[in-house]
Structure formats: structure tokens, C-alpha cells
Structure 1
């Protein structure tokens, strides 16, 4: 588990909404909470530091102000590279493909460059505003699998997170449509018999000494996963992503992107370079 949660702020109240979750994680595992603000030039440093100090007093955190050499995401990645034990935490607007192609995405760039998971949060319409006295306790880590080695890359991180937070780990699989050409006939039989996710749960239980549950969901993957966890502030949803950008994502779609936009929970997102 990571020893430092580095919350990336931009001065907005929206960006601060991930803070109760970051503090809940740090409070449980005994790590360090750091607030990072990236500014464009030296002239903005004083105001950024003043803003961070106010937030730090409220949340019991350390602060860092980084002057961007190129852009915000490069500065965040530079800070992560200095500390292998840190994980970035970002509130994201979760924009969809084409808009992202036009406007860019700090969160996507950090995921692609971090070489470790990133914590993402996008409050949904009914989500409560971040409050210092908002008591959050993570009691469950839900890892989404699709039968591929790629998706299974999240398992070690999900298991370590659950163990550190003293939370239950649950593995979920969404049954694919019968016409899927990406899944072998053997794997289809395994999924129908629920044996794949059950085997993964048993192997993870043996490997990490955790309580591991499992469930098989039905329907569209993004919709089914969102419905399973939606609006729960005691859950971390752990997933891999292919981290497609802009137009490519608009064409191919992304289950992870849909979960970022719709689930309303904290996500642990990882881009494995297999």
C-alpha cells in the first residue's frame, strides 16, 4: 500500500471533493496526506501556497507548490517519480471522448505516465459536498475483471489496498453478450459456470489472506458495474484502463470512463503496460 496520498488541487471547490476520501485512507493506514498545487509561474506561487495552507490546516496535510516546466500533468508525474511510495488523487470532470480530445485531460495523462494506480473521483449529481466532518470509512474494495490478463493486473493493488484498509475485497465479472468475438469459447463456458471469477477469488484469498467475495453481474459492463457500486462512499472501485485518449476513446468507448462519469465512487485506476 502507498505511504503517501498526494491530492492534486487547482484552487477549486470541485477539486477538493476527493479530500475526505484521501483523509480516510491516510487515517486508516497511517500514511501521509500531501496537497499539491501546480502553478504556471513564480508569480502565482505565493497565492497558491496561501490557499494550500488554509486547506492543509483543515485537513491535517502537508503542502507542495510546483512551478510547471511544461504542463500540470508533467509536474504531477515529476513529483510521483520522486516518491515511489506516493499515489496521486485527482477529482476529475470525467469528460467523454470528443470533448477530451479538444480540451485535454490531466487525469488521463497522469494515469498513462504514473506506472502505478491513480485515485480518481468524480462526484455525481446527488453526491454530497466535501466536508471536514464527513465521516468516511472504506469497508469494501470492488475489483472489476473481464476474464483477461490485462484486467487481472489490478488484483495485487486491490488486494493490498483492501488489506491495508482492513476492508473486504470483492471481485466482480459482467457476463458478456453471447455474440462477443473477443472471448474464447472455453472462457465463455467458464464465465457461464461462474468458475472464472470464483477461481480468481479463491486464489486471491490464498495469496493475500483476505476475505474475498465474488459476484457475476449481467448486462452492459459499464452500466452493471455502476449500478453495483453507485453512490456508496464506503467503496473503492478498482479497475484497469487502456487509457485511450480523445478520438480513439470516442470511437472505441471505455468501461472505466463510464464508471468514472457515472459511478459516484472513489476509483483506483491502473494502466498496465503489458
Structure 2
């Protein structure tokens, strides 16, 4: 379990609606579950023009010290709402994202809990870009609380029913394991979800065939994950849905009354596709549910990170899409020879990898395998 919960907070004059304090109920719930300590941090970002003016007047040191003391008093007021000795305060001056990352690196096994952004008047400020950088540059998990959350900072959130979207990749399963390591397993109710996106029209196979095979695979895959979790005493149920991934994740979270959604920051397409900028970002923008985000390690390190009791379970097959590099030049095994020839011509290649419906490599086709058009014409 994480030893320290880091909660970035914004000064009241910049956060009149106390949006940044929406992270506090999650921090309290984590503290109750894990017995971790809490570090409340606020970063003073001084505008360049103001800093230049203060410096020219020779007031830089005294003014900055006044700001620090004012910010520290704000944090200490909140710290007193936690059990005695459980919360400490830190005030820093500089770029908010850089200072938060530096602080977290100096802490043993942290988890950062922060809101998605803060609005000051008509302007989006501070935590929008800060959250993005923290999520993408951190080596630790980040819990992002939607700014639309209606829970007051003095309350304690419930962390029991967790929605875990899985796509069959090691990245998503690593996020699951990291979430269990942070929250602990006692009293958790996991809802495993796999979303099948309906295919566009494709000559390989009909939509009905695709959906049937995809659903059969998803049911079998989720059953295996559920069985492994059950063997560890963890309650889990599984569900397969059809539709757009982000929309179905949001809908499932509402339907089951999820307290949190746990996701990886990257999809099964590997480190080149960042989910936080697509699926997870859409989930967060529409959801009232906190999002547990974990940045996965390289795929070769994932198996070593799993607990020993899970290693005996049969591993899922690696996908070509986890390690391939763009541009994608592949043909499905059900495509016509004319389509294969066209792709070779367009990409200037004499060979194409052949993949099945799960994007697994099943063979190759060479230009020499194609029928000679001149011979066919003479016939």
C-alpha cells in the first residue's frame, strides 16, 4: 500500500469554489483504508511581470515570505481537519507541475490525489495542464477527481466498488494490480468491464461474425481474470458491453454506482497511444467518478510486477499491436488478394504481415504469392 498521499491544493483567492479541495474526501478515504500519511502541498506560481516589478523595488524576499506564510496557514487549517499527526504541509514556489513532480519523487511510494482542473472566473487555470503533466510524467499512480464532484472537502468518500475496464492487454491488468496495491483488497468489489466496439464494414467478415467471436473471447478472458482474483479472496464480477468505449465505461459506472474507475494511461496499442488524451480524458470530462490512472511499465516488465499468486494463472497472448510501430501496414486473413496487392502498391512493399481479428500475426503474404495478371489476361 502507498505510504504517503499527496494532495495539491490551490489558494482560496485562485479557487473561490474550492474545486481543488474536492480531492480531500478521496484522500481521507485512502488514509482510512491504508493508514497512510497525508501531505498537503500548494505551489506559489509568481507571474514573470509581477516578479520583475517586486524585484525592481527590492521587495522580492519579504513579499515572497509573506506569500509562503499565508499559503502555509491555509494548508494548516485543512491539516487540522485530519487526525492529529497524520497530515503535514508543504509550500513551494515555482512551476506547479515541476514542483509537484519533484516533491513526489522524494517521497517513498506516493499516490497523488488531485482534481482535474480549477476554474478562476471564465479562465481555466492551474490544474488542467498540471494534472496532465503529473499523470504523464509520474512513475506513481494518480487519482484524478472530476471538478464537478459534489462531495464537500470535509467528508470522506467511499472507496469500495471499483470499475476496471480491461482490453486484454498487460497494461490494463497492471493498472488493476497497482490499484489493488494502493487500496488494499479488504472490502473491495471489483466490476471488470470489456467493451466491444462494433466494427466498420470490412470484407474480412460480417459484423455479426465479428461481434460473436469478440464476445466469446471477452467472456473467456474476463472469466480467467475473475477466477484469478477470486483465488486471492477478491470479489469480482465481469461484464461485456458493446458500443463506444468511453461512453460504455461512463454508463457502466453510473449503472453500478462505481466509487472509482481504474485505468491504465496507455492502451493495448502500446506506449505510442496515450489513452488519457482520448478514452480516459473523455471519461473524466463526463464523469462524476474519480479516475485511478496508472502509467504502465514497458510490456517486458509487466509480468515481474504481478504478485506471486497470480503468476500461476495462464497468461493472455501478447498482441502484435502491443509492440508494432507505425505506420500500420497489415492485411487481415480474410481480405481479398486484390486488396493485398493494392496495399503493397500503395506502401511500396513486397510483403505484408497477415493478422487475425485480434490483430495477432498469423502469417505473411508476398508479392510472389499473388497471381500474375498478365498470365490471367492471356487465359
Distance 1:270 1:130 in 2: 26
Question: What secondary structure sits across from 1:203 in the alignment?
Answer: helix
| Matching residue of 1:30 | 35
Q: Is the 8 A contact 1:94 1:122 kept in 2?
A: no
Aligned to 2:21: 16
Q: Compare 260-269 and 147-156 and name the one that shifted more.
A: 147-156
Deviation at 1:232, TM superposition (A): 8.0
Matches within 5 A, 1:60-209: 60=83, 61-68=87-94, 71-93=95-117, 105-124=129-148, 127-132=149-154, 134-164=155-185, 166-179=187-200, 191-193=214-216, 194-206=219-231, 208-209=232-233
Matches of 2:222 and 2:210, distance apart in 1: 11
Q: Which residue of 2 aligns with 1:48?
A: 71
State the match for 1:238 in structure 2.
262
Say what the alpha-carbon RMSD is for the aligned residues: 3.3
Matches of 1:5 and 1:162, distance apart in 2? 11
Superposed CA deviations along residues 115-174 of structure 1, whole A, max 9, x for unmatched, are: 1210101143xx424142x34321112211122233222121133345345311221111
Structure 1 residue 58, shift from structure 2 partner:
2.3
1:163-213 CA distance string (max 9 Å, x none): 3453112211111222399xxxx997664111122222222333x431222
Q: Mark the CA change 1:67 to 1:231 in structure 2 (over 3 Å): closer, same or farther.
A: farther
Q: Could you say which residue in structure 1 is the equivalent of 2:294?
A: 270
The change in CA–CA distance for 1:135 and 1:78 in structure 2 (over 3 A counts) is: closer
The alpha-carbon deviation at position 59 of structure 1 amounts to 3.5
Instruction: Indicate the SS of the match to 1:20.
Output: helix
Q: Aligned in 2, Cα 1:218/1:137: closer, same or farther, shift over 3 Å? A: same
CA distance in 2 between partners of 1:158 and 1:190 (Å): 30
Consecutive unaligned residues of structure 2, counting only runs of 5 or more, are 47-63, 203-208, 268-272, 299-379
Shift of 1:107: 0.8
1:231 Cα offset (Å): 9.5
> What is the distance in 1 between the residues matched to 2:110 and 2:35?
13
Match of 2:2 in 1: 2
Aligned residues of 2:4 and 2:108 also touching (Cα < 8 A) = no
In the alignment, is residue 255 of structure 1 matched against residue 279 of structure 2? yes
Sort the Cα spacing of 1:104 and 1:22 in 2 relative to 1 into closer, same or farther, 3 A.
closer
Distance in 2 (CA, whole Å) between partners of 1:3 and 1:88 is 11
Q: 2:238 aligns with which of 208, 214, 218?
A: 214
- RCO higher in structure (CA 8 A, sep ≥6): 1
Report the Cα distance in structure 2 between the residues aligned to 1:111 and 1:266, rounded to whole angstroms: 14
What's 1:224 paired with?
A: 248
With the length of structure 1 as denominator, give the TM-score of the two structures.
Answer: 0.81
CA distance in 1, matches of 2:258, 2:89: 26
Structure with the greater alpha carbon radius of gyration: 2
